[in-house]
Amino acid sequence: MTATPDGVDGNPERGGPDRAFLAGAAATFFTLLLLAEAAARLAAGSGWLYRRIDFAGSLTSLPELEQRIAWNSRRPYPVFLLGDSVLGATALWEHRVARPRRLTVPARLAPSAAAAGISVQSLAADGLLLPDLEAIDRAIGASQAKGKEPARRVIVLNFRMFAAEFAAPGKALSRDFLLPELRAEGSPPDPALAGRDDALGDRLSAGAARYCALARTAWQLQPLWYFPTRRDAFRRLLEPAHGGPADENADLQDAALHLKVDPYYRDRWDTGSPAFHALGALLEAARSHRDVQTIVVLTPQNPEFVGDPAIFAWNRRVLGEFVARHGQPGEGSVAYRDLADRFPAGRFLDHCHLTPEGNREYAQILLALINE
């Protein structure tokens, strides 16, 4: 028995079939990986992804955020919406509204704005706080610094963002991956934002998102099937077997909501808090952006949840005065609108999230403000 000559020179090749198997597996795996990476880069870089899929309400990484900003900055008359879940679909989804993504404020606003030649991109996401918005605003500023067209910002503030519980160390920033953006300009961020462990998993995740478009795009797509979070998606799947929320006590749900949101309206706001510090930095930046208009809006609140009317009015006045003081005309301009008492209770799903009809009216108000 002699070995089958399978080398190019007719000699038996060491390894034989095993080597061919490994070569085929490695070549196929890495070729497909490279092709998928190229496709992901092309889809995101050309805007193909963003024209077809609405990612409003989710934010998965800093590179993904920068990608969305870069894409909208290339479009005519770009406008960025910054805010929290008020601009997303989660509350609609929780209240079993069909097709919630099509009924959000940005989804209602974008077509009307596009008809007027304005390109609206929402960078809002559930749970965002003011330091998050400051970081996002800096990312927009960095995009402008690279020569893109000046962009307008619409900053939607919510009472929740100023709550005392989010002034605690480690709670003032909702997305850890935005912290590098706050450190980018050399100024140390608020102590309430710092001192957090930088876990190996976070660093790996951030590195993968930065250098691998395939991973970035895959994570970006996850909220399409795990919405708003993986846990909620699985809970919704299990509902038919265990009975849905309709079977639960409505009074109990209402009490739980009050328990959660009443503290948002209970205290007088402290203008020395991380939230006001971030808002001040946002307004200072807005003033210094030449030819850029920033619109700051205090989002509508359900009158049945606002607690003590005196504290509610006091907080609104404090915010109005703060914005007026820090947003005085500079090279850029800042406009402020307090819409806290704009809608009746019937337009709300809960303390601050609007019904589809409320979202439609809210979008009209924002469009009018953008057009002013």
d(CA 360, CA 105): 6
Q: Which is nearer to other proteins, 33 or 53 (CB)?
A: 33
- Asked whether position 335 contacts other proteins by CB under 8 A, the answer is no
> Least distance to other proteins from the beta carbon of 230, Å?
9
> Least distance to other proteins from the beta carbon of 218, Å?
4
d(CA 288, CA 334): 10
- Asked whether position 214 contacts other proteins by CB under 8 A, the answer is yes
Segment contacting other proteins (CB under 8 A): 56-64, 67-75, 103-111, 294-302?
56-64
Q: Which letter, b or e, does each residue of 99-134 get, where b requires 16 or more Cβ atoms within 10 Å of its Cβ?
A: ebbebbbbbbbbebbeeeebbbbbbbbbbbbbbbbb
Q: What is the DSSP string of 10-51?
A: SSPPTTTHHHHHHHHHHHHHHHHHHHHHHHHHHHHHTSHHHH
294-333 footprint of other proteins as x/- string (CB under 8 A): ----------------------------------------
- Asked whether position 61 contacts other proteins by CB under 8 A, the answer is yes
Q: To 5 degrees, how large is the angle CA 61–CA 119–CA 107?
A: 70
> Least distance to other proteins from the beta carbon of 155, Å?
18
- Decide if 358 contacts 343 (C-beta within 8 A): yes
- Asked whether position 262 contacts other proteins by CB under 8 A, the answer is no
- Asked whether position 85 contacts other proteins by CB under 8 A, the answer is yes
Q: To 5 degrees, how large is the angle CA 228–CA 262–CA 156?
A: 55
- Asked whether position 126 contacts other proteins by CB under 8 A, the answer is yes
> Least distance to other proteins from the beta carbon of 245, Å?
14
Partnered with residue 155 across adjacent β-strands are 82, 296
- Asked whether position 84 contacts other proteins by CB under 8 A, the answer is yes
As a whole number of Å, the end-to-end CA separation of the chain is 90
Selected from 51, 74, 183, 260, the binder of other proteins by CB under 8 A is 260
Site residue total, other proteins (CB under 8 A): 48
Residue 178: other Cβ atoms inside 10 A = 24
9-38 footprint of other proteins as x/- string (CB under 8 A): -------xxx-xxxxxxxxxx--xx--x--
Q: Which is nearer to other proteins, 294 or 302 (CB)?
A: 302
Helix (H) or strand (E) holding 208: helix 200-211
Closest CA to 262 of 359, 165, 355: 165
Selected from 14, 52, 146, 231, the binder of other proteins by CB under 8 A is 231
> Least distance to other proteins from the beta carbon of 45, Å?
19
d(CA 80, CA 366): 12
- Asked whether position 191 contacts other proteins by CB under 8 A, the answer is no
- Asked whether position 55 contacts other proteins by CB under 8 A, the answer is no
Helix (H) or strand (E) holding 275: helix 274-288
- Asked whether position 245 contacts other proteins by CB under 8 A, the answer is no
Closest CA to 56 of 128, 7, 8, 150: 128
- Asked whether position 91 contacts other proteins by CB under 8 A, the answer is yes
Q: Which is nearer to other proteins, 81 or 125 (CB)?
A: 125
Q: Which residues bind other proteins (CB under 8 A)?
A: 16-18, 20-29, 32-33, 36, 59-61, 84-85, 90-91, 125-127, 174-177, 199, 201-202, 205-206, 209, 214-215, 218-219, 221-222, 225, 228-229, 231-232, 260
